[in-house]
Structure 1
Amino acid sequence: MAAQADERVMISERIAPGMLPRVLNSFDMTIIFVAIVLFIVNASAIQQAHQAAYTYWILGFVAFLIPGALVTAQLGQMFPQEGSLYVWTQKALGPFWGFFAGFCAWWPGILVMVATGDAVVTLWQFVDTGGLSKAWEQGLVILAVLWFSALMSMMRLRMTQSYANWAVVFYGAGIFVIGLAGILWLIGDGHSATGGWGTASNWGIHSTQWTWFGFVILALLGIEVPLNM
């Protein structure tokens, strides 16, 4: 039994704790999770569901996000080693599927870096009408974003995480300001773009709207998980 237990111990479990000491705390990990999951653009995409959007968000939290957090916490207690999804899959299904799960968690990061550069180009063109009209100009901006990401990756992890923490704080502050502006608009002379807030049927779930529930689940999965579904 002891020999079998030793065989199931991964090399990373024996070597990583000594070579890679822990430098992140619970707050840092929470920030990383929020940064992965929280995309405010998802809120604007689901607004087409009108009042029912709030129902689907609540249902998504109750039926998926909270149970998923409880399951993740339990897995973390059962397998406290570094690696999370990679470790859990390797323990349950073996080395191949452990590698596959780890690859699927890593690969979206590569795609997101390129997509982020493209998003910067889109925002630039939105602010500066007619700017970056040539393909080579857009390419330079995308390369600049990638070079900046590479520079950040070469810094000490503690320093990089501190920058990420502040970025998420400002991100949350921006979301708060947008929400506050909407509330002040409604309190003032403004009016809601959607009528029928007092109609119960507008808040209900209909068979023709189940795709919105799927969208909510996808939004709560974050950027890494779709390949692992």
Structure 2
Amino acid sequence: MTTDRNTHSLLRRFIVLNRRLSRGLYLIAEQLTSRRPGVVEFEQQIVPNLLFPKARVLDVGGGKSPIIDAETKRRLRLYVVGLDLSADELARAPQGIYDKVIVGDVATVPIHEQFDVILSRTLLEHAPDTSRAIANLTGALSPGGTMAHYLPCRRAFFAVLSRCLGAETSRSVLFRIYPEKRSGAGFPAYYHCCVPSAMARLCRECGLLVETRAYYESEYFKANRHNRDERQKNG
């Protein structure tokens, strides 16, 4: 028992030191390039450029952490609907951030309204059938509307490792390295069609025009540049 405890303590110290070193190197790299972390650029640049006054917005998978903040919603007088598999996640969102909520699987839940902007952030990799998810969301898109999705590539090292280890082992490893993620990560990930070519094909098959594809490094391994944002515009 003592040996196991010492081994765990040593491993934990190694992980902490490794993360500190990686963070330092990452900050240096940020100063040398104009590229920002993908999720930051998605939230602070891509999404704001899609919004306009009185837009109807569907936040898919945002749950307790919606993509659009309360100030932006108020300033632009947005109508925001939250769609999530978990009613509990939606209930934990900031009060008033969603005008309406939809509980269900993104691939199959009926969406009876149409939206100018549909957003998701690290959601589609968790959909068992991404093609059905994209098709369902396309049906909820207003003519001329836009979808923007930020998701990891299935070829990224952490994604390959996750599929090899299985869901339970992957969560255990993730929480040991990133204990702060226990409250908001660890959901089963399938990475179905989560590669640029397959995702673009799915979008085109649904009648969407792929307007922009951008590539970003993973937050799990800062040197990996497999994460990406995909914006789709109704064709």
Decide: shared fold, TM above 0.5.
no
Question: In proportion to residue count, which structure has more helix?
Answer: 1
Please indicate the TM-score interval, normalised by the length of the shorter structure: under 0.3
TM-score when normalising by structure 2: 0.25
